[in-house]
Structure 1
Amino acid sequence: MAAAVRSGGLLERTRGFYLIVAVVLGVALAGAVAGFVLLGESWFQLLIAAALGLIFTQIAFVAHEASHRQVLGSGPANDRLGRVLATVGVGMSYAWWMTKHTRHHANPNRVGKDPDIEVDTISFLPQDAAKRRGLMGRLTRVQGYLFFPLLTLEGLNLHYRSFAALASRDAVKGRWIEIGSIIARFALYLGVLFALLPLGMAFAFLGVQLAVFGVYMGASFAPNHKGMPVVPRDLKLDFFSKQVRTSRNISGGWWASALMGGLNYQVEHHLFPNMPRPHLAAARRIVRAYCTTAQVPYTETSLFRSYGIVIAHLNRVGLAARDPFECPVIAQLRRA
């Protein structure tokens, strides 16, 4: 009976929390739309664009939580909610995200299995950086410093990858529903934008919104695993060690949780991926105590300290892009 009461209390707390989140996001979105209409042809519209970038990211956080069965009472209901929020609210493919994110959770930071450390514009592994030559090699050497500027393009990249996945020949669950939803979303969004604003202002609005969205998304997900131990392809680890040793928490409590959509509790999220956001803080206390007893490293740092760690790590990886045939003496004479 006591267990049932506790379970019921946790369920009510979860429902209440996500109801508040829905109301706040609804009011914020309505306010942004009202501001857009009232401002008219004004460069202050760029503030509305930035606000939409923040709102779309927060919607993406809830879609992420729905994909983990955290928001509603059943798996199918969470999937329906996640698909609507991802496609209509954000303009991303829910099926593509689910496939990619499921692989990441199964093998975080494992070489050859975690898609989040596969080479892209940024190289996350020295062996990938070592293959870079020419201009890309030079950029890779300082990729840590370029990481946050490059995130301004991440929003565009997420939309592109979603379209590419939906247009591929791979099996995609709900392909035509997602294609229709995303096309309708962009048709309405871009149609209103370019119909009511001058051409240059409309493009500036879209650029700011995509840049803020990309930076906010990347700045929320990057601290979670970048700079943490990388697991060799064939090394065997138990579930607990694999998830805890490769994850990093961000300190700050409730404000960090609100800012990052619960991703600040990355260790607990990886250990209990179906646990709703409002319960992760309590789980953190238990997990930290157990890690101390079991002598398993538990990593937690501040948000800005984590960014410093990520930048330094990416620059260390980028050093592998140096020209292996370059003579250090000749290189020094050239600079002189």
Structure 2
Amino acid sequence: MTAAGEAPMRSHPQAPPQEQTTQDIAVLLEPLRREILAHCYRMTGSVHDAEDLVQETYLRAWRSFRGFEHRSSLRTWVFRIATNACLTHLEGRRRRPLPTGIGAPAADPADEPHESSAVPWLEPLPDALVWTGPAPDPAAQAVTDESIRLAFVAALQHLTAQQRAVLLLRDVLAWRATEVAEALDISVAAVNSTLQRARAHLAKMDRGDPPRLPDDERRRRLLQAYVAAFESYDVAGIVELLAADVVWEMPPFPEWYRGARDVGALISAWCPANGAGDMRMVRTSANGLPTLALYMRGPDGSHRPFQLQQVTPTADGVARVTAWFAPELFPAFGLPTELPE
């Protein structure tokens, strides 16, 4: 993992901690918000939980700011609060997998998919919440593409909460073992053994992503053709744009599919669209990847949220699609609840 460098502490001019106002504290903490959000997302796998935990972190920081004695940087202090808020939140909660992570083989597209609400599924993280505008120079990014990759966050869900915390603090934030031990109130030996187990387990789960096309003309043409094929409901055209061994999954349905032909059969058999114009797509991005908000035309002629498709464009075509059937995620992306005609 690429470690995020520690930013220098931004202290309030002339005012010692005990004299700083609520507004002063808010000004100090606000530059860290996006990093803290990404950290809470990695820990929980949920953008909604992460946003709630950022608020909890800032509330805890405000309440305890007078006890902050500058023995560490402000960033380290706030990340310590955020990590412990996440650990408290995760107590007794189930992990958030993707369908490919629950251990079942690829499904038969001839069988009707059945939604499962019993599983709390992994959610995407809108890029706009951690970056503004085009991503900056990777060397200068506080939150890197690598640190919020969907495959990486999905693999983290197979670790215990403490293993996630130790691995993220050591390998993503580049903390020393002594700092992690102090933050989590465990021994340095426990930190080292936990990190070793977490790395070994993660190596089994996270096999990385296929090489992506860079953001160039080839990728733009592929995405443009992909959107056009869906909006014209051209299943053969969609299949042609998929990699031969594409993986397709669609939480909250536990079934997943492998191979362009099977995905084409799935869409032909179970997609509620009837023809061109029934589906419309709006482009956005999540976890550093192109994401397409699909709106489906209803009986009244209006197009309303249907699914969010995160796609991995490669030289061989679209190699992976995670399609969330979760209209409740649309507001997190700033997407409209209905498309105008």
Tell me the TM-score normalised to structure 2 length: 0.26
Structure with the higher fraction of residues in helix conformation: 1
Q: Which has the higher contact order (CA 8 A, sep 6+)?
A: 1
